[in-house]
Amino acid sequence: MTSTAHSATATEATGQVPASFSGPAVDARAALTLPYTHVDDVFIDGAWVLARGTGRNSVTDPATGQVWGSVPDGTAEDIDAAVGAARKAFDGGWSRLAPSERAAYLLRIADEVDKRADELALTNTRENGSPIAESSGAAANAASIFRYFATLAEYLEREDVRPFPRGGGESVVRRDPVGVCALIAPWNFPINLMVIKLAPALLAGCTVVMKPASPTPLSFRLIVDAVAAAGVPAGVVNLVTGSGKLGDTLVRHLGVDKVAFTGSTPVGRKIAAACGELLRPVTLELGGKSSAIVLPDADLDAMSNGLVRSCMRNTGQTCYISTRILAPAGRYDEVVDMVTATIAAGVQGDPLDPATVFGPAATESQYRTVLEYVDAGRAEGARVTTGGRVARLGGGLEGGFFVEPTVFADVTPTMRISREEIFGPVISVLKYTDVDEAVALANNTEFGLGGLVFGTDQDAALAVADRMDTGSVGINFFASNHSAPFGGRHDSGLGTEYGIEGLNAYLSYKSIHRRP
C-alpha cells in the first residue's frame, strides 16, 4: 500500500473551516487583536467586576511559548460572591420561569454566540493550540448545543401524572431544577465542554458558577458576553478564574447543590470524594484509553480518511479518541503502513493556519508528559514508525510545544503506552488473532469512554460494538450526537451528558401524591 493512497487533508481530518471564517494569515499573529488578553475581572451577578484578590495566572500561546494574556487567580471571596449571586437568581425567579421561556433565552444566546464565532475560535486557538479548523468548528457547535437543548423545553413542560398501580390516587411528577451548579471544565475543548453543562443547566432552571481550566481562561468570557447580550438575568451565570485550588473551594462551597466536572480521572476522584462526603450530586466526564477494532473486512482507505478525527483529533488531546488500534494478525503490516502513512501526511504547523492538521501540545507540562510516554514506549520495545521526536518548527514557532505525531507498532497490551491515557499525538497499533481476543483487549482497561469498530459488514460491526464495555462506540466514524447520551463507564466517569439523560442530571424529581 502506498502512502499517497492514504493521504489525509485538513478538511477530512479535522472538519471544514466554515466559509464565514475570516481569521488571519499565519504571519499576522503579532497583529492579532483579540477582545480579551490581560483582564482583571470576573463575571458575578450580571457584570464584569474586579476580582477580590491580587494573584494572577498567565495565559501562554503553546505555538510560541509566549505569554499573551493573564487573568485573576480568584479567591474564596470571589466564589462566595458568585455562589451568593447564583443563589439569589435561583430563588429570585429563574427557576420558576416556564421552560419555554428559558428556551427562548437559549436561542438568543446561540445567536449571540454565532456573532462571536471568529473571536471565540481565535482566542481558543491562542490559548490551547487547537488547529483553527477545530476551534472554528467548536464555536459553531456551541451555538448548536444551545439550540438543541432549547428543543427539550417541551419535554420539561409535558405533564407527568402516574396512577397508583391498584387505583386509589395518582402522583404528579415534577422535574425541579437541582439548584446552584458548579461547572468545571478542562483545557482541551474549553468552549464546548463548558457549554454542554451550561445549556442543560439553564434550561432546567439552574443557576451556575463556572471555572474554566487555568490554561484556557479567556475564550469562555465570550460565551459569557453572549449570555449577557441575550438578556439572561443577573446572577444566573457567573464566571470565576483561578487554579485547581479554587475549583476545590467551589466544589465544597455549602451554597452549591450540584457539581459537573470534565477533566482527568485523578481530579475526578477527588471531586467525587468531596461530593460523597457532602452527599452532593455530581457528574464526572473523565479520561479514557479507547480502542479501535479493525475487523478483517475493514476498508482501510475509508478508515484512513477519518483516522485523524477518530484516533488523533485535536493533536491527540480528545478524551474519547481511539489511540489503540487493534489490527488482525493477517492484516497487521497493512494496517501499520496505512496508519503510519496517514499520520505522517498530516501537516503539523501553526494552529492559526487553516491547513494545519496537528498543532502543539496545549501546555508545556503536557508536552513533557507526551515525550516521556514516547521514551517509555521505546524503552518497553515498541517500534516508532513515524514521528517520535520533538518537532522543530521555524517561522516564530521555535519556542512552541510541538511533538511529532507518533505511531508505535509492535505494542503489547502490558506496555504503559497501551494502558495509560497519554493525551497527545501518539497512537499504538496492537495485533490480535481473533475477534474474541480483540474485544477482550479493548475491554481490558480501567477506562470505558469511547471506541470504534472498523468493518464493512454493518451487522458484524454492530455485534462487536455491542460487546465493547464503554459509554460510546462508533462504527467506521466517531462523533458525539447532541441527542444521544455521552458518558464514561468505570474510571471514565459517572453519569452522562447530552440528550434528555444529560438534562436529567440538572433535575431533581418530586412526586406529589393525591386523590383528586
Of 99 and 137, the one with the shorter C-beta distance to ligand NAP is 137
Query: Nearest approach, Cβ of 248 to ligand NAP (angstroms)?
Result: 4
Of 356, 101, 418, 386, which is closest to residue 231 (Cα–Cα)?
101
Tell me which DSSP letter residue 450 carries. Answer: -
Of 261, 210, 216, 218, which is closest to residue 240 (Cα–Cα)?
210
Query: Nearest approach, Cβ of 496 to ligand NAP (angstroms)?
Result: 10
Tell me which DSSP letter residue 222 carries. Answer: H
Exposure string for 216-235, b = 16+ CB within 10 A, e = fewer? bbbbbbbbbbbbbebebeeb
Of 170 and 364, the one with the shorter C-beta distance to ligand NAP is 364
Active site (annotated) includes residue 319: yes
Of 139 and 185, the one with the shorter C-beta distance to ligand NAP is 185
Of 385 and 445, the one with the shorter C-beta distance to ligand NAP is 445
Beta bridge partners of 430: 326
Set of cell numbers at residue 464: 462487536
Choosing from 181, 275, 311, 319, the catalytic residue is: 319
Set of cell numbers at residue 12: 477530512
Query: Nearest approach, Cβ of 296 to ligand NAP (angstroms)?
Result: 30
Of 305 and 315, the one with the shorter C-beta distance to ligand NAP is 315
Of 111 and 248, the one with the shorter C-beta distance to ligand NAP is 248
Query: Nearest approach, Cβ of 126 to ligand NAP (angstroms)?
Result: 17
Is 323:427 a contact under the CB 8 Å cutoff?
A: yes
Residue 256 Cα distances to 85, 183, 209, 220, angstroms: 12, 10, 9, 21
How far is it, in rounded angstroms, from Cα 298 to Cα 296? 6
Alpha-carbon torsion 116, 119, 123, 124, what sign?
Answer: positive
Query: Nearest approach, Cβ of 255 to ligand NAP (angstroms)?
Result: 16
**396 phi, psi to nearest 5 deg:** 90, 0
Of 265 and 385, the one with the shorter C-beta distance to ligand NAP is 265
Residue 424 Cα distances to 319, 364, 371, 388, 421, angstroms: 10, 12, 9, 12, 9
How far is it, in rounded angstroms, from Cα 407 to Cα 3? 15
Is 156:35 a contact under the CB 8 Å cutoff?
A: no
Exposed/middle/buried for residue 9 (C-beta within 10 Å: 0-12, 13-18, 19+): middle
- E strand segments, 304-421: 322-328, 383-386, 406-409
Kindly give the interhelix angle for 435-443 and 458-467, rounded to the nearest 10 degrees.
Answer: 40
Of 110 and 251, the one with the shorter C-beta distance to ligand NAP is 251
- E strand segments, 178-304: 180-184, 207-211, 237-239, 258-262, 282-285, 290-294
Query: Nearest approach, Cβ of 173 to ligand NAP (angstroms)?
Result: 29
Of 106 and 319, the one with the shorter C-beta distance to ligand NAP is 319
What is the CB-side half-sphere exposure of residue 453 using CA atoms within 13 A?
25
Choosing from 285, 404, 421, 497, the catalytic residue is: 285
Of all residues in the shown chain, the one whose CB is closest to ligand NAP is 247
How far is it, in rounded angstroms, from Cα 504 to Cα 502? 5
Query: Nearest approach, Cβ of 428 to ligand NAP (angstroms)?
Result: 16
**Binding interface with ligand NAP (CB under 6 A):** 184-188, 193, 211, 213-214, 243-244, 247-248, 251, 262-264, 267, 270-271, 285-288, 319, 421, 423, 449, 488, 493
Query: Nearest approach, Cβ of 425 to ligand NAP (angstroms)?
Result: 14
Query: Nearest approach, Cβ of 365 to ligand NAP (angstroms)?
Result: 9
Calculated CA dihedral for residues 470, 124, 251, 44, nearest 10 degrees: -140
Set of cell numbers at residue 214: 487555568
Catalytic positions, please?
Answer: 285, 319
